Amino acid sequence: MKHAEAAPRYEQPSLLKREFKRWRDNRVGYLFIAPLVIAIVLVLLYPIGKAMLMSFQYWLVTKPKGGHPFVGLDNYGGLFRSDYFFTSLYITFLYIVVTVALRYLLGLGTALLLHTKFRGRGLVRAMVIIPWAVPEVVTCLVFILMYDYQYGVINDILLKMNILSSPVAFLGDSRTALGAAMFVNVWKGFPFAAIMLLAGLQSIPKDLYEAATMDGAGIWRQFRSVTLPLLRPVSVVVFLLLVVWTIKDFGIVYVLTGGGPSRVTEILTIFIYKVGFKTFNFGVAAAGGMILLLVSIVFTLIYLKATKAGETT
Note whether 296 and 247 are within 8 A (CB).
yes
| In the predicted structure, residue 165 carries a pLDDT above the cut 80 | yes
> What pLDDT is attached to residue 12?
53
Q: Whole-angstrom Cα distance, residue 230 to residue 223? A: 10
Residue 313, pLDDT score: 56
Question: Band of the pLDDT at 86, cuts 50, 70, 90?
Answer: very high
Q: What is the mean pLDDT of the chain?
A: 86
For 232-246, the pLDDT digits (tens) are 889 988 998 999 899
Residue 275's identity, in one-letter code, is V
At 274 the pLDDT is 92
pLDDT digits (tens, 9 = 90+) for 194-229: 999 999 999 888 888 888 888 888 888 888 888 888
Residues 6+ apart with CB under 8 A from 42: none
Cα Dmax for the chain? 120
- Residue 1 confidence (pLDDT) above 50: no
pLDDT at 309: 66
pLDDT at 9 > cutoff 70: no
Model pLDDT, residue 113:
92
What is the predicted pLDDT for the residue at 62?
72
- Percent of the residues in the chain that have a pLDDT greater than 90, as a whole number: 45
Helix intervals (H) in 147-281: 153-160, 177-202, 206-214, 219-222, 228-247, 251-256, 268-277
Q: What pLDDT is attached to residue 52?
A: 92
Give me the pLDDT at residue 216, please.
Answer: 82
Q: Which of 60-64, 75-79, 298-302 has the highest mean pLDDT?
A: 75-79
Measured distance CA(170)–CA(181) in Å, rounded = 9
Q: How far does CA 10 lie from the centroid of its chain?
A: 57
Kindly indicate the confidence band of residue 189, based on its pLDDT and cuts at 50, 70 and 90.
very high
Q: Rounded CA gap, 180 and 154, in Å?
A: 11
**pLDDT tens digits, one per residue of 247-283:** 989 999 999 999 989 899 999 999 999 998 888 889 9
Angle at 100 between CA 176 and CA 86, to 5 degrees: 65
DSSP at 225: I
pTM (two decimals)? 0.84
Cα-to-chain-centroid distance, residue 91: 16
